[in-house]
Each structure stands twice: as structure tokens, then as C-alpha cells.
Amino acid sequence: MSLTKPVADESMLRNALGDEGFDELAEPPNVEATRAHPLWPQIVKNLRAVYDPEIPVNIYELGLIYKVDIRDGLDGKADVFVEMSLTSPGCPVAQEMPGMVQGAIFPVDGIGNVDVEIVWDPTWDPSFMAETAKLQLNMFT
């Protein structure tokens, strides 16, 4: 897959679209998540701070996060299970990415355990990207 130089960063897109318009376009189409959980907004905010070092778009908007299951534990803390993929099986950060995702979620106040699993089904493709990611990468549909 060939990517071009980003044409816009997040702040430029927020200025152009406004926060509400940006938030709608920044949501990838295929994420299965426990959105009603009170910790979801902070978890997704932290996931948006994790980047694939080869692509200047965060892993959430890139569509690499397939599932975020948040369950309240008996200890009063929430346990989080994440299924994610990578842009290709040969991704140079394949070994580090689960730890990067854990490191982003674990500091959220109220989190207990964080488990991250790399999955290859379905195979990631650019249709999984949020519209904002496509704009940033000059990949218009």
C-alpha cells in the first residue's frame, strides 16, 4: 500500500469541520465497542494517541482497532479486552503494538486488566479507516 504525505493534521481538520463534524468523521466504520461504558470516552481518547510509526494517523482512526470490550470486574475496576490488527503481517512494530495499546489504556482511572490480541481476520484494508484518516492521507473515496 502506498501512502502519500499527509495533507492535513487533526487540528486543521477540527478547525475546518468543527468539533462535532470532526468527531463524526473520526469514527472508523467497523469498531465493535462497549460505547455505553463510562470509561469509553477516555479509552478512545487514549487510543487516538497511539500511532503506527510508519503512518501519521492514530491507530483508532486508521481502523486497526476492531473490538473494545469493557467489563466491570468484582473489584470495582473495569477489565478491557481489545482485538486489533495491523496494516500488514510484516509490520515492524507487530511485537510492540499490543504493549503500546495496553500502555495507552491502563493509565485510565478505573481500569483493572487490559488484554490486547492481534487478529488477522478480517484482514485490514483502507475501507476500515475513518474519513478523517483518509483526508489526512490524501486518500479520497
Domain presence at residue 133: no
Q: How many domains does the chain have?
A: 1
- Stronger pLDDT, 118 or 3, i.e. the higher one: 118
Query: The whole model's pTM is what?
Result: 0.81
**CATH number reported for the structural domain that contains residue 95 in this entry:** 3.30.300.130
Domain presence at residue 75: yes
Place of cell 486489533: 84
Residues with Cβ within 8 Å of 13's Cβ and at least 6 positions away in sequence, in order, are 22, 25, 132, 135, 136
Look at residues 114, 95, 89 and name the one whose alpha carbon lies nearest to residue 104.
Answer: 114
Domain presence at residue 137: no
pLDDT of residue 9: 53
Q: What is the CA radius of gyration of the chain?
A: 15
pLDDT in tens, 95-140: 999 999 999 999 999 999 999 999 999 999 999 999 989 988 888 6
Domain presence at residue 4: no
- Burial environment of residue 103 by CB neighbours within 10 A (0 to 12, 13 to 18, 19 or more): middle
Domain that holds residue 88: 30-125
The separation between CA 27 and the C-alpha centre of its own chain, rounded to angstroms, equals: 9
- Per cent of the chain over pLDDT 90 is 60
Domain presence at residue 132: no
Domain presence at residue 136: no
- Per-residue confidence band for 29, with pLDDT thresholds at 50, 70 and 90: confident
